[in-house]
Amino acid sequence: MMDFISQCRAALGAAHVLQAPADMAPFLTDQRGRFTGQALAVLRPGSAEEVAALVRACAEYRVTLVPQGGNTGLVLGSVPDLSGRQVLLSLARLNRIREVDAVNRTMTVDAGCILQHVQQAAAAEGCLFPLSLAAEGSCTIGGNLSTNAGGTAVLRYGNMRELCLGLEVVTPQGEIWNGLRGLRKDNTGYDLRDLFIGAEGTLGVITGAVLKLYPQPKASLTALAALRSPAAALQLLVLMQDHCGASLTGFELMSQYCLQLVAQQFPQLRQPFAAPHAQYVLLELSNSEPEQHAVGLLERAIGAALERGVIDDAVVASSVAQSAALWQLREHIPLAQARAGKNIKHDISLPVSRIADFITATGPRLDAAFPGCQLVCFGHVGDGNLHYNVAPPDGIAHEDFLLNQDQVNRLVYDSVAAFGGSISAEHGIGALKRDELARYKSPVELNMMRAIKSALDPLGIMNPGKIL
C-alpha cells in the first residue's frame, strides 16, 4: 500500500494525505456518534482533476473509497467500514462558487460548497436557492446531491433532484464526465444526472453541479393551525392548496406530544394556544407579491377552514419575529427529543392521502407491542414525509428501550410497506438501512440496481457496502 499512498501524495501533495489517527478522527465517526470506522488515509483533493487522479490510483491498487462532504449524513453513508483498507475522500476543499447566472437562474458550484454559502451567494444576486435543512451550516452540496436531500421547502420547490440541472462526476474509471449543463430541457439520451443523484457515492464522485435558482420571494407569512386529527390535516392541505396554489410553501404537522416535549425541555418558548389540541399544522405562504396580499390570501383560506370545521383554531404571525417564534417550535422538536434521551427514529414517507390511516393504524400496533411507548410524530406532511420516532414509556430507561430497535423497526416498516410508503424519505440508505432495503425492495428492482452498479463500477471501488 506504500506505492498507493505515494501515488496519492504525488497527486495531492503530502499535506492533503492524512494518516495520523488524530488528523483522521473527525472524518471517521458519523454525526450522531453511532459508528466509528477506520481508514488507510483521508485524502483531501482540491480539484476534480485531483479527484480523478485519486480514483485512478484506487482502481489500479483496488483500494475502495468513501466520498464525504460535511459528514452530516444520518445513515452511515459517508464513513468507512472497520477494515482499515478504505480511503476517505473528503470533498471539503472543492468549495468554489464557480458562476452565478441570474438570467438563466442557475449557479455552478463545486461539490464541497456548504449549503448555507450557496444560499447566501444566491441571495446576493437577488435569487433563492430553496434547499433548506437543519444541517445547512455544515452539509455540502455534494452530500445533498448524493442523498437527494429534502428539507422544508420540498412542497413548493422539490427535492435536490429537482433543484439540479447538471453534474460533473468522476467516474469509477477516473474519468471526468462534464455534464454541467444549465438546460431546462434536454432530451439527449439516458438521464445519468438523476442516476448519480441519490446514489450515495456508489456510482461515482460528484465534483460539481449546476443548481437551479428561483426569484427571491418578497413576502413570507406563517400561521399555526390547531386540529383534531391527522385526517383533518389532510383536509386542510387540500383546502390550502386549492386556495393558495404555489404560494403554499410549507405545511408541517406536529402532534400535541411534540409540542409538550418542546414545552418541557424549552419552557422559555411561548406556546401559542392556551389549551392543548391533538394536532398542529405550521403553514407558510411565500411569493413574489407584497405582504398584504399574502395576509389576505391566508386569512381567506384560514377563514374557510374554520367555517368548514377543518381546523379548531389558528394564529397568524403578524411580524417576522412572530413567524420565527412559530418556526422555532417546529425546529425545537429534534432538539427536545435529544435532550429527553435517545429514541428510535424513522424517516418515512407515504402517499399523502394515506398518512392519517397510517398514523391511526400504526400507533395502536406499537402500543400493543410496547405498552405505553410514546410517539414523536411530526414532519413535512405536504410531501408525505413523517419523522416517526418511538420513545420509551414513562419509567423505562432510554438505553433499555433501544434494545427493542429491531422489533420496532420491523413493525413500523411493515406498516409503511402495507400503506405503499418508503422506509427512507429523505435520508438515504447508507450502511444503516442496507438490510432493510434488501427486505422491502422487489428482487426485480434490486437486480436492476445491481446490474447498473456492476456496469458502471465493475471493480466495486465506489463506496462498497452502502445501499446494496
Write out the binding residues for a second copy, residues 335-394 only, by CB under 8 A: 349-354, 380, 383-385
| Contact positions with a second copy (CB under 8 A) in 196-255 | 197-199, 203, 214-215, 217, 234, 237-238, 241-247
Name the residue nearer to a second copy (CB basis): 1 or 438. Answer: 438
Member of 287, 303, 376, 409 binding a second copy (CB under 8 A): 287
Residues with Cβ < 8 Å from 13, sequence gap 6 or more?
none
Main-chain phi, psi angles of 355, to 5 degrees: -60, -45
357-360, Cβ contacts within 8 angstroms, sequence gap of 24 or more: 357/419, 358/386, 358/415, 358/416, 358/419, 358/421, 359/230, 359/386, 360/230, 360/231
By CB under 8 A, what part of segment 260-279 binds a second copy?
A: none
Scan for cell 404555489, then name that residue: 246
Which of 315, 335, 449, 459 touches a second copy (CB under 8 A)? 449
Nearer Cβ to a second copy (194/291): 194
Q: Which of 188, 268, 292, 319 binds a second copy (CB under 8 A)?
A: 188
**Where in 82-121 is the site for a second copy (CB under 8 A)?**
101-106
Q: CB of residue 181 vs a second copy: minimum separation in angstroms?
A: 7
Residue 454 touching a second copy (CB under 8 A) = yes
- 405 counts as binding a second copy under rule CB under 8 A: no
Question: Of residues 135-154, which lie at the interface with a second copy (CB under 8 A)?
Answer: 147-148, 150, 154
Handedness of CA 261, 264, 265, 267 (dihedral sign): positive
CA distance 17 to 27: 13
Would you give the DSSP letter of residue 431? Answer: T
> Which residue's CB is nearer to a second copy, number 4 or number 388?
388
**Angle in degrees, 0-180, between the axes of helices 291-307 and 230-244, rounded to the nearest 10:** 140
CB-nearer residue toward a second copy: 322 or 463: 463
Site track 289-328 with a second copy (rule: CB under 8 A), x = hit:
x---x---x-------------------------------
| Residue of 423, 432, 461, 462 that binds a second copy (CB under 8 A) | 423
Residue 414, C-beta contacts closer than 8 angstroms, at least 6 positions apart: none
- Using the minimum distance from each CB to a second copy, give the nearer residue, 243 or 330: 243
Task: Decide whether 50 or 168 has the Cβ nearer to a second copy.
Answer: 168
Tell which residue, 127, 128, 92, has the closest CA to residue 110. Answer: 92
With cell 482540491, the residue in question is 46
Interface with a second copy by CB under 8 A: which range of 80-88, 254-262, 314-322, 452-460? 452-460
Output the CA angle 411-465-28, nearest 5 degrees: 100
